[in-house]
Amino acid sequence: MKKKILILAVAAVSIPTQGQTLEECWRAAEQNYPLIRQYDLIEKTKLLTVANIQKGWLPQVSAQAQATYQSDVTAWPDQMKTMMTGMGVDMKGLKKDQYRVAVDVQQTIYDGGTISNQKTIALEQANVQSAQTEVNLYAVRRRVNEMYFALLMLEEQMQLNRDLQELLAGNEQKLKAMVKGGTAAESDWKNVKAERLNVVQQATTLQSQKRMLTAMLYTFCGMPLPSALGGATIVKPAIVSPSGGEGGARPEMRLFDAQLRLTEAQEQGLKSALMPRLGIFAQGYYGYPGLNMFQDMMRHRWSLNGVIGARLTWNISALYTHKNDKAKLQLQRQLTETNRDVFLFNNRLEQIQQQEEIARYRKLMADDEEIISLRSAVRKAAESKLAHGIIDVNDLVREINQENAARVQRSIHEIEMLKEIYDNKFTTNN
């Protein structure tokens, strides 16, 4: 049983895989592009930031140690000190060197929505970063399009090159037979053979260019390189109708929306900055002097002391810059909206240009088939005329090249139209 499984696995590996489609290359390139790691980094940063902000509701604890020397301290009036001394009470007074080791604890009860708003801003900032990353990753598709359709064009040219070699080889064999029969000059046969060898040289150049482009495309997409780069193939995309729309599906639109939501959150932050804050606090310290100052005048000893209470604070100075800060956010909102309008405007112009190019290539392709048919008929007639000695071999070679040029032109028109169609899909994301 294990041997059977092993045989099937080896057979599955040995089966040649189908060519890569354009959509597969898009997805592979986006997954392979180093920028995609930013999604995970942004998410982790967001969680850490929100967790830190949430800790604003925890008691805030601080510790301090302090040592001071004062130029003067609180003391008894001289008359009272004399009277107390007469009564046998030693009034030493406070010492000028004082010490304190303290712990402060503060607990927020009401913050005017500051912590909640800070969380919202952190989340929206993360959304903006993720949206910007998505925009940058989406742009990778255009680079894939350039390499993919360039490689597709090379494959079409290589196929036409093989057809041309076959056609020239057929005529070469005919001329070789005619030379043996004495109905054609040996120079005519050599002329066609030289032309075929030129085409073979072109095939070598095309094959080298294909290996280079294949390596670039597969490396860019993070796909394993085929064992034979020259034999790798890609799938010609289907001819579909141009996509429509106003570019609303593009990731740039989500970026603009995220930027506007961030502006709204920042505006709410300005409002919360104007609100009062309520909290409770506790302070305990060990040192000299303590809170009972009269007792510390009589004995110079450290003591434990504590204070608890509630505190209401209102930062009125936030009003000084509130109007200007709000105006700045309004300008930021208008800038984002303007950028969105500019993007949609340019996107629409790009769609118009692409759709016009697609229509132009469709019209050209409608004539290409007829041109090829006519050139093929002329070439076949030239072959017949050469066989009857009416024309020389140069005329035949010229007709063969003109037919091949017509076929190349049709392939160029088709691939260029496909590229415009899928560039249009990139423009609309539909």
Q: Which residue has the higher pLDDT, 76 or 284?
A: 284
CA 342 – CA 348 distance, rounded (Å): 10
The answer to which of 18-27, 307-316, 335-344 has the lowest mean pLDDT is 18-27
pLDDT of residue 243: 66
**Nearest alpha carbon to residue 230 among 211, 258, 255, 250:** 211
pLDDT over threshold 60, residue 48: yes
pLDDT tens per residue, range 297-310: 878 889 999 999 99
In a 3-state reduction of DSSP, which class is residue 231? helix
Q: Peptide bond before 59: cis, by omega within 30 degrees of 0?
A: no
CA 421 – CA 415 distance, rounded (Å): 10
Which residues 6+ apart lie within 8 Å of 253 measured at CB?
Answer: 247, 340, 343
CA 237 – CA 337 distance, rounded (Å): 36
Q: What pTM was computed for the model?
A: 0.80
| pLDDT tier at 12, thresholds 50, 70, 90 | very low
DSSP one-letter string for 281-321: EEEEEEEES-S-HHHHHH----EEEEEEEEEEE--TTHHHH
What's the burial of 64, exposed, middle or buried (CB within 10 Å: 0-12/13-18/19+)? exposed
Enumerate the β-bridge partners of residue 105: 61, 282
The count of other CB atoms within 10 Å of the CB of residue 308 is 10
pLDDT of residue 52: 92
| pLDDT tier at 14, thresholds 50, 70, 90 | very low
